[in-house]
Amino acid sequence: MNDFFQTDIISIRDFNKEKLETVFSATDKIIQMNPNERRELARGKTLGYLFFEPSTRTRLSFQAAMASLGGTSLGIADASSSSTKKGESLADTVHIMSLYSDVLVLRHPLDGSSRFAAEISSKPLINGGSGTEEHPTQAIQDLFTIIREKKKIDGLKIGVAGDLKYGRTVYSLLYALSNYNVDVHLISPESLKIRSDSTYDIKKRLKYKESSSLEEHIDEFDVLYVTRIQKERFPDEEEYLKVKGSYTIGLDLVKKMKDDAIILHPLPRVDEISTDVDETKQAKYFKQAQYGKDTRAALLALILNENSF
């Protein structure tokens, strides 16, 4: 039996290197598989999605992944059109969805929401983004992209820039990277430094330095991971306005980067990366979004099939 069969995916902290690599090699297989064979992996199965926050890539890549495995998906993409609006609880919504589907994906503004929902759900539940806490499937796709593009993770120098305080993808990325031997530079304005309450685990296992200058080490990075300033999570607009537009990666900065460096971003971008960078060979964020579908398909196939494929 594979380790993921019928399991919840709540935190990337539950993944050791071996588990991460199981998903990466399943993804390699999914990519190579012929479509007819792939459509057997979730034939007759349903993915139920519950999204209480906006999403483009996460929800659509899960749906595209499920379709590529021969399954189907149904769900709530906008909570205001569901009975939540009438006052139905998250617990009841999850309960109902687990009656209608074989695997669930939840995105919710509260930290802890996925763990709570997984206890209610009779079917495996995947965290599609919980508050400022975690986004485990994004980290899987981020690491998979690094491996595909750089052929390794160990030994890389990785810059992580932007909103490190509220960006949940950053926490999942750092937890995942702590399984490897990497050199991390965290770059953010002072007020958006990584939260100390969430770094306890990371500090023990990951080498990292913090600074506020993007330019200082840009010529050394193998990977530059850029994030959006999470406007919606700021307690007040004034604070957001102080840091808005803090970093913009333009062609001038890309020219200073190593020739074979890669730029990643979980997307959506607002103004952190100018669109003319998209044409450079370092820009890999669209490729990363494409791998989001493949890695999620691998994860769904592992959760739904008892035997490895």
CA 62/CA 163 separation, integer angstroms: 25
In the numeric block, the tokens 């304005």 are attached to 189
Of the two residues 63 and 305, which places its CB atom closer to ligand NCD in the complex?
63
Q: Which residues contact 91 (CB under 8 A, 6 or more apart)?
A: 116, 117, 120
Residue 44: burial class (beta carbons within 10 Å; 0-12, 13-18, 19+): exposed
To ligand NCD, the closest distance from the beta carbon of 266 in angstroms equals: 4
| Least distance (Å) between residue 295 CB and ligand NCD | 12
E strand or H helix that includes residue 93: helix 90-100
**In the chain, how long is the greatest CA-to-CA distance?**
54
Task: For the CB of residue 115, give the shortest distance to ligand NCD in the complex, in Å.
Answer: 17
Cα 98 to Cα 141: distance, rounded to the nearest angstrom: 26
The first and second tokens of residue 88, run together, are: 């139905």
Residue type at 101 in one-letter notation: S
Q: Single out the segment in contact with ligand NCD by CB under 6 A; choices: 6-14, 110-118, 250-258, 264-272.
A: 264-272
User: What region does 237 belong to: left with phi over 0, alpha with psi -120 to 50, or beta?
Assistant: alpha
By CB under 6 A, is residue 293 in contact with ligand NCD? no
Residues 228, 284, 293, 296: which binds ligand NCD (CB under 6 A)?
A: 228
If the CB atoms of residues 68 and 230 are measured against ligand NCD, the closer one turns out to be 230
CB of 277 to ligand NCD, least distance (A): 17
Q: Which stretch binds ligand NCD (CB under 6 A): 118-126, 251-259, 262-270, 280-288?
A: 262-270
Residues in CB range of 243: below 8 A, 6 or more apart: 163, 189, 191, 192, 229
Choose one: 118-126, 182-190, 256-264, 266-274; the region binding ligand NCD (CB under 6 A): 266-274
**266 touches ligand NCD by CB under 6 A:** yes
Tell me which residues in 111-130 interact with ligand NCD (CB under 6 A). Answer: 129
Q: How far is the CB of 141 from ligand NCD (least distance, A)?
A: 9
Distance of closest approach, residue 255 Cβ to ligand NCD, in angstroms: 26
- Contacting ligand NCD (CB under 6 A), which of 38, 57, 185, 293? 57
- Binding-residue pattern over the window 69 to 88 for ligand NCD, x denoting contact by CB under 6 A: --------------------
Which structure tokens are listed for 118? 């997984």
Q: Starting from the edge strand earliest in sequence, which strands make up the sheet with 103-108, in order? A: 72-76, 46-51, 103-108, 125-130
Q: Is 135 in the site for ligand NCD (CB under 6 A)?
A: yes
Extract the runs of DSSP E, i.e. beta strands, from the chain. Answer: 46-51, 72-76, 103-108, 125-130, 157-161, 183-187, 207-211, 223-226, 262-264
Active site (catalytic) residues: 57-58, 86, 107, 135
Is 169 a binding residue for ligand NCD by CB under 6 A? The answer is yes
User: Residue type for 34, please?
Assistant: N
Interaction between residue 159 and ligand NCD (CB under 6 A): no
Q: Residue numbers of the site for ligand NCD (CB under 6 A)? A: 57-58, 129, 135, 138, 168-169, 228, 230, 266-268
